[in-house]
Homo-oligomer: A and B are copies of this chain.
Amino acid sequence: MFAVKGSCNAAADKLESPGKRRFLDGRGGNLCRPSPGVSFSGLGKLRSNSISAVLDKVGTGTVEGFNGATLADRLRLGSLTEDRLSYKERFIVRCYEVGINKTATVETMANLLQEVGCNHAQSVGFSTDGFATTTSMRKMHLIWVTARMHIEIYKYPAWSDVVEIETWCQGEGRIGTRRDWIMKDYADGEVIGRATSKWVMMNMDTRRLQKVTDDVRDEILAHCPKELRLSIPEENNNSLKKIPKLENPAHVREGLMPRRSDLDMNRHVNNVAYIGWVLESMPEEIIDTHELQSITLDYRRECQRDDVVDSLTSPEQLEGEGVQGTNGSAAKSSGSFLHFLRLSPSGHEINRGRTEWRKKAPK
């Protein structure tokens, strides 16, 4: 069903039998970069909660160690929360991160989710080789790979807005872990978005999925909330909804190619590029009149430098039928679309996705 290409293959909807299948790093085979997944051999570096004191020190030219924190640790506007079971960081939206609507693009938001995940992992003492693994995982040559990513944006921040993102992890049965995020407008505390992701363990040598062992589970759970905490809590929401395969696309954009800047250090395509490719085949009239409310991507197969990609899109339901926004979001979707990215010309599935769109507010 999912043919092997190169050394990687993926079957994200078959997580119940991970050992039987090969898998890819869902961030695009990004096996060396620090993963937003959990990890962490220890409690990590001491961090000061008093940013003012730290910056004061930096301001006087002292860039030496401060409680063992790196220079970046001290300048970053983020830290573990008081209970050390989640991590919060603030980001100022930069001028080059906004798009057509003068607000942050969904790619910007996805990048920030990745960054805050990386920094969380780092702050609890992840393996510094970039694999963000626990001690047990390193012994067994295991790494984390993404199986699914779901992002909901209720309000896109504008240039110079300050976004605060909180993130945390938890176990997801035997099959892996889950990382959740809540995005807030830091000026008024309004929740402007939520996201959740599923991660599974892959053996680097065999490139096969593997169940989470007790050892790894214990190492992870030490850094997770003790009670289930979900950014998108309802059972029946789009973050869980199955994505059917798109058979007869209404809109196709063929011949998309990775750029060098899409490649990570393993020369695989970074996951944010997939979001861009999905949007490529959206009909122009929807882009012009709507904004993206949510995107869900199931990761199946990695993309490499010389691959050519086709982006396929079809409406999942008629415009205006409406889908209830999840989790208390006031905005209702006014259109849902199914997406399919495939390798050209083989047609092999890279990933499938769903997007929901709401009408733009009148200006």
Show the binding face of A for B, using Cβ within 8 Å.
32-34, 50-53, 55-56, 59, 63, 70-72, 75-77, 90, 92, 94-96, 98-102, 105, 107, 111, 114-115, 118-119, 122, 130, 159-162, 186-188, 255-257, 259-261, 263-265, 267, 270, 272, 276-277, 279-280, 287
The answer to whether B263 touches A99 (Cβ under 8 A) is: yes
A174 to B310, CA, bound (A): 49
Q: With a CB–CB cut-off of 8 A, which chain B residues contact A261?
A: 99, 105, 107, 276, 279
The answer to whether A280 touches B255 (Cβ under 8 A) is: no
The answer to whether A92 touches B76 (Cβ under 8 A) is: yes
A255 to B254, CA, bound (A): 11
A119 to B56, CA, bound (A): 22
A80 to B94, CA, bound (A): 18
The answer to whether A267 touches B100 (Cβ under 8 A) is: yes
Besides A63-B187, A100-B265, A259-B280, 19 other A-B contacts (C-beta < 8 A) = A34-B159, A63-B186, A63-B188, A71-B162, A71-B187, A72-B92, A75-B162, A94-B111, A94-B115, A94-B118, A95-B118, A95-B119, A99-B261, A100-B260, A100-B264, A101-B265, A260-B280, A261-B276, A261-B279
The answer to whether A95 touches B71 (Cβ under 8 A) is: no
A265 to B160, CA, bound (A): 16
The answer to whether B270 touches A96 (Cβ under 8 A) is: yes
Pairs across A and B, CB under 8 Å, 8 listed: A33-B159, A51-B52, A94-B111, A255-B257, A256-B259, A259-B276, A260-B279, A260-B280
